[in-house]
Structure 1
Amino acid sequence: MSESTSKRHLNVAAAAIFNQNGQVFLSRRPSFVDQGGRWEFPGGKRRPYETGFEALKRELFEELGIHVRRAQPLIRVPHDYGDYTVVLDVWAVHDFSGEPFGREGQVVRWVDVDDLWHYNFPEANQPIIRAAILPSYMMVTGEASSNDAFAESLEEALTEHHLKLVRVRAPELAMDDYAQRAEIAVELGRKHGARILLGNRDEQVKPVADLVESLDASGLYLTSHQLHGLKERPVATSRWLGSTVHNEQDLIMAEQLDCDFATLSPIRPTELCRDQTALGWHDLQEWVAPRRLPIYAMGGLEMDDIDHARGVGAQGIASQGFFWTVR
């Protein structure tokens, strides 16, 4: 009997349940079960005749006493524990009735999203933590005629669209000039509660990584070219690490480098990516399914595309043109 057929396989529906304060609900596994004593996102095994959403609704009522009205796909996580494999079909739940409590006697609590890193989860839950923290859309900054124009466009976008994740991109600037833009962005990010990731062109990674540290930016963002030139994660795990990816090999490299998320493009034809074939929604779904990291869709997309992107397994969308006003 082969290793693949001898292993037990589990399909699990799980939920990141959010309240109006943006907190997420956790339960603690009993000490006498596998992975006992660790915290987890509530859920349970999917029965053979159930869809993922049907299993989700049943499990959350049985475990927590709530009725799920609506839910949105968050991330699908395959994981190999050695003696068995599991696929976690995870949903974001914002619309439910009832107050969740431990119907089976389990310890439960509401947790601030940014505090999730402090809890001891099973290994398979790590990508879920990232997906729960990350927003459903990300902005990439565009051109600006001056630093003042850049600051005006960035503050406008942060205010109007309530952005929580921004990549500072300015390939036309030399490193010293880019550092000035980055400092402006980090200050505005702190003001508006947004995570600012730095990453510029295909130059050496270390100067930008050092800039992340000196400015105390939220993290580093890599181009696909930079991704393939690295053998280890270039920033500490306390910083966010994202990367542009264009194909399946890029995605594999992003996982090996322990990127926290990736941006896959182009989904639709764009002038910027005119030399690359647009993936479309079907290929996006195929490429996202086996991956363990949150993936944003990018290329010709707008806010109306978020539900479609989430529906095929992506974290959401990334965009420049939709959010950014050139000045």
Structure 2
Amino acid sequence: MHVMAGVLLDARGRVLLAQRPPGKHLAGLWEFPGGKLDAGEIPAAGLVRELREELGIEAEICDPVIRVPWHYGDRSLLLDAWTVRHWHGEPMSLEGQALQWCDPAGIDPAILSPADRPILRALQLPARYPITPAEVPPEAFEAWRHRLVEAIEHGLHLALLRFPLWAPERVRELAAALLPVARARGAHMLLSGDVAGALELGSGVGVQLKAFQLSSLEERPLPLSQLVGASCHDEIELAQASRFADFATLSPVSATATHPGVVPLGWPTFQSMLEAASVPVYALGGMTEADTQVARRAGGQGVAGIRGFW
């Protein structure tokens, strides 16, 4: 079942949510407005029709956000979300559903239907995901604290604190030192594989799971208020990430100096592998900021990287 979802964005950057009415599947949970395509209907035309029927507006469809394959028991759907920045008329409830305008950064994922949560994450996450260099020595703690504070103050919203030469406690100490400015600016710092550290530090600190950690999971390792990323290299790992994580990195997309003997996936394979992923995915491996739009056109959230980002 192909279902269209409209991410209506007003002039203040708020999005419109609709509550599923009593008697419907997942009643009481909130979702992005839209509905099922008719047989043979073009997706953009179907979304315009659904928004007309549900909200009484004539919408101008803009850019794709994310496509979310989802399974509810024996029911399968493809939730196809697109941004809508311009429309004629005032959105109103024509099907008995409650409506509310919300700042995406302040929406609790728990209030949304499970299939709509990846759409929210795609809105909340930036297009760039910098990873700290592996060769940074422990004595560079203060230099990197200053560097990261400055980066957050200049718009950095997401970063992986990956310092393999440091003791885990020292990385936690750095994350704790960054928390005041990170929380004030709505930024998120992720620890590399350190679930216990993320739980200890709380909101504003998440975890990037390594592939071996991902394969052994039976439940989400952190509450929904803390981000969980997953390092993936194939379809099996992406499927596991779709169950337990908020987003994933997929690598290596291009050749990298750190793994010279590994054959890169390339953009066509990256794009095809994303078709089964139910979370936002960053391209990793040989990426620079200049690759952001290429990744977006391939269906990715954006790019992650080390050398090209600091």
Normalised TM-score (structure 1):
0.81
Tell me what 2:191 maps to.
198
Contact 2:31 2:113 in 1 (8 A): yes
For residues 279-315 of structure 1, the C-alpha deviation after alignment (integer angstroms, 9 at most, x for no partner) is: 1221112111112222111223334433332333222
Q: Using the alignment, how far apart are the partners of 1:156 and 1:67 within structure 2?
A: 43
Find out whether 1:252 has 2:239 as its counterpart.
Answer: yes
Tell me what 2:182 maps to.
189
Aligned residue identity for 1:46: L
Q: Using the alignment, how far apart are the partners of 2:176 and 2:27 within structure 1?
A: 45
1:45, distance to aligned residue in structure 2 (A): 1.7
Question: Higher relative contact order at CA 8 Å, sep ≥6: structure 1 or structure 2?
Answer: 1
1:42, distance to aligned residue in structure 2 (A): 0.8
Q: 1:230 to 1:277 in 2, by over 3 A?
A: same
1:147 to 133, 141, 147: 141
For residues 71-126 of structure 1, the C-alpha deviation after alignment (integer angstroms, 9 at most, x for no partner) is: 22222122233453221111233455554333455421102324432664434323
Contact 1:260 1:293 in 2 (8 A): yes
Contact 2:109 2:120 in 1 (8 A): no
Tell me what 1:22 maps to.
13
Contact 1:63 1:102 in 2 (8 A): yes
Alignment of 1:95-244 (within 5 A): 95-96=86-87, 98-104=89-95, 106-117=97-108, 120-142=111-133, 144=136, 146-160=140-154, 162-199=155-192, 208-216=194-202, 217-244=204-231
Contact 1:117 1:129 in 2 (8 A): no
Q: Using the alignment, how far apart are the partners of 1:232 and 1:81 within structure 2?
A: 17
1:232, distance to aligned residue in structure 2 (A): 4.1
Any idea what SS the aligned residue of 2:252 has? Answer: coil
Report percent identity of matched pairs.
Answer: 36
Find out whether 1:92 has 2:83 as its counterpart.
Answer: yes
Find out whether 1:264 has 2:258 as its counterpart.
Answer: no
Normalised TM-score (structure 2):
0.85
Q: How many residues end up aligned between the 2 structures?
A: 306
Structure 2: runs of 5 or more not aligned:
none
Q: 1:222 to 1:84 in 2, by over 3 A?
A: closer
Contact 2:64 2:83 in 1 (8 A): yes
Any idea what SS the aligned residue of 2:44 has? Answer: helix
Contact 1:168 1:185 in 2 (8 A): no
Any idea what SS the aligned residue of 2:108 has? Answer: helix
1:249, distance to aligned residue in structure 2 (A): 2.3
Deviates more, 1:259-268 or 1:126-135: 126-135
Tell me what 2:68 maps to.
77
Q: Using the alignment, how far apart are the partners of 1:305 and 1:70 within structure 2?
A: 25
Q: Using the alignment, how far apart are the partners of 2:219 and 2:99 within structure 1?
A: 37
Q: Using the alignment, how far apart are the partners of 2:177 and 2:269 within structure 1?
A: 37
After the TM superposition, list the runs of 4 or more consecutive aligned residues in structure 1 that deviate by more than 6 angstroms: none
Q: 1:80 to 1:236 in 2, by over 3 A?
A: closer
Structure 1: runs of 5 or more not aligned:
1-9, 200-204
